Amino acid sequence: MTALVTFGETMLRLSPPRGERLETARELEVQAGGAESNVAVAVARLGGDAAWFSKLPDSPLGRRVVGELRSHGVDTDGVVWTDDADSRQGVYYLEHGAAPRPTNVVYDRADAAVTTLETGEFDLDAVRDAEVCYTTGITPALSETLRETTADVLAAAQDTGTMTAFDLNYRAKLWSPDEAAEGYRDLLGSIDLLFAAERDAATVLGRDGDAESVARGLAEDYGIETVVVTRGEAGSLAVSDGAVFEQGVYDAETYDAIGTGDAFVGGYLAKHLDGGSVAESLEWASATASFKRTIEGDIAVVNPEDVERVVADEGDGISR
Ligand code: KDG
């Protein structure tokens, strides 16, 4: 039994050296990146037991993704391999910005193998046996098939008491706010633990009050046990069974901000799986997210001692 099962797409991230542009770069650094596998890696590295499920082309590119995730301790046995000649490995290009030039993401992920992943191909017993099943709003945005699979997997998890966890993770390059709102509404009734960036809740779900009222509103409207609203530099707030918990951010020098939200979720789930309270899980979430900012790549190459040091150095981490 794996404590945490995650599922979604992992792409290869290709990025020019800092200060160079995609238009002219001669070299591209290759790394793996995907919201759900980023969370699995953070949990595995922080001592938890984590698996990632997906569908990949049986090619050097697909094997590259799996090799990188395994190197961090993630169980990839549930990956479905396809040798369909049309199946693709999703790729994204990342040009690091430097003010006033913004960081730019260019997706090349249409028709990736994972977009054809059907419920029948999924190891639902592993989901039913897990403590937590996690995915994000990126997965149902990728195809109609994945939208159905996501709903089926989350429902199967909830039916047998596996906690379902979900991050809205709105990606404007994948769907419009109206499409995303419809996609989210189909799933939110099957979620036990929701992570929502304040801006996603406002842009997509029209929830633009203060963080506590956003969290309470989502918890009540969809029957969600715990809602965590993240507010960037303003920290995070959770409403869990009606009680409110607040957490500030830890100071960090930002080297690469991509994957910070996933590191937050990874830190939270690692502590939760270790028996931590909501307050302790939020503290680990915040510390892991800050630590990630200092690291190149989508993945939080973090160890438990790193998180413990961040938490210890900064007292309770609450910025007042
Ligand atoms: O959260 C970081 C992700 O954006 C990155 O890893 C790539 O999953 C990704 C996506 O779909 O944007």
In tens, the pLDDT along 56-68 reads: 999 999 999 999 9
Domains, in order of start, for the chain: 4-313 (3.40.1190.20)
Annotated catalytic, 262? yes
The mean per-residue pLDDT over the stretch 109-134 comes to 96
Confirm if 279 and 237 have CB atoms less than 8 A apart: no
* Residue 116 pLDDT > 60: yes
Structure tokens at 27: 């070299």
With a 6 Å cutoff on the Cβ, whether 263 touches ligand 1 is no
Confidence of residue 240 (pLDDT cuts 50, 70, 90): very high
For 157-166, give one letter per residue: b (16+ CB within 10 A) or e.
bbeeebbbbb
Confirm if 50 and 133 have CB atoms less than 8 A apart: no
With a 6 Å cutoff on the Cβ, whether 261 touches ligand 1 is yes
The mean per-residue pLDDT over the stretch 84-88 comes to 89
What's the CA-to-centroid distance between 34 and ligand 1, angstroms? Answer: 5
The mean per-residue pLDDT over the stretch 120-142 comes to 97
Confidence of residue 320 (pLDDT cuts 50, 70, 90): very low
Confidence of residue 314 (pLDDT cuts 50, 70, 90): low
In tens, the pLDDT along 183-195 reads: 999 999 999 999 9
User: What integer pLDDT is reported at residue 212 of this predicted model?
Assistant: 98
Calculate the average pLDDT of the chain: 96
CA distance linking residue 154 with residue 119, whole number of Å: 11
Residue 210's alpha-carbon distances to 213, 225, 230, 243, 245, in angstroms, are 6, 19, 11, 16, 14
With a 6 Å cutoff on the Cβ, whether 38 touches ligand 1 is yes
Helix, strand or coil for residue 297? coil
